Amino acid sequence: MVVLAVYLVSGCSDDAPGASLPREATSSDASSPTPTTSSTVASAKPQRTRVPDVLGRSRDAAQTRLRAAGLEPRSIKVPGATCEPEGTVFEQRPAPGRTLPAGSVVVLRVNAEVDLEACDLDLPPASLDDQRVADLFVAFARGRRDSIPADAPVDVYLGGRLASTIDNDLLGERAEWGVCTEPGYAGRVCPLSPLDVLRDHRGELVVTSAPPSHPCLHGDQPLPDRDGVAVIAAATPRSCVDYFAVELGINDVGQIGRVNLVLTEP
């Protein structure tokens, strides 16, 4: 008996479909997103600055202060415009307090060629000793000294009326100089202080032996006893609104015993 063994061999044909391999990605196929840069440039706003008040200052001082504030000063000389000392700024445009872009022009009108006779500035000077005492008092009022030449309590008057007596050990306390009389004085709000008046005045001061005088003074304004009295006043005529004088009663050894603040009443 013949047995035929048939071996079936299963081979792989080149025609047989094979597994599909993924194609390797190339650089040309890669889709690279284009980077975008988002930069927001904020437009800088121009700097602004407040116009300082330079009225009553000398032209040079006014220009220096305006430049320090980032502004550009322009000055115009006006002969005989006011009785302010020559070279004094009496008007500025734009007005003080305005806010302007940095670099803006501020126009200053400056007084020139003062007519002393027309301005009635020919006041008799006080003695040299009294002027020295008055200068020390002004320096104290403006914070450049801590005391005044006084070896005893000082009487403080308003318009010739006694308002307060300051003890010697309290003369350096500026709050003690704020005084008032009943029912008030010259239509002003109390307390009133001769120190504040001298501190706030920006113009030139003179020291004279002439008593305070102004059409708008009412009542017994000056000190009644004129011996040894020096008067500190503005160097230029003042209106009924802003006239002032500070009288100092000075004894024989150069010590202040009385101070009288004189104001006009509109």
**What are 24-79's pLDDT values in tens digits?**
444 444 445 555 444 444 455 569 999 999 988 889 999 999 999 999 999 999 87
Q: Taking all residues of the chain, what is their mean pLDDT, rounded to a whole number? A: 80
d(CA 170, CA 248): 18
Tell me the mean pLDDT in the region 124-140. 94
> With contact defined as beta carbons under 8 Å apart, do 121 and 85 qualify?
no
Q: What is the reported pLDDT for 158?
A: 92
> With contact defined as beta carbons under 8 Å apart, do 157 and 259 qualify?
yes
pLDDT band at 83 (very low <50, low <70, confident <90, very high): low
Q: What is the reported pLDDT for 181?
A: 86
Structural domains present in the chain? 48-112 (3.30.10.20), 128-263 (3.10.450)
Tens-place pLDDT, residues 147-202: 999 999 999 999 999 999 999 999 999 999 999 988 788 888 889 999 999 999 98
Give the N- to C-terminal CA distance of the chain in Å, as an integer: 158
With residue 135 as reference, give the H or E element that holds it.
helix 128-141
d(CA 57, CA 202): 7
Strand order in the sheet with 89-93: 72-79, 105-112, 89-93
Tens-place pLDDT, residues 220-263: 677 877 778 999 998 876 677 788 999 999 999 999 999 999 99
Bridge partners for 74 per DSSP: 107
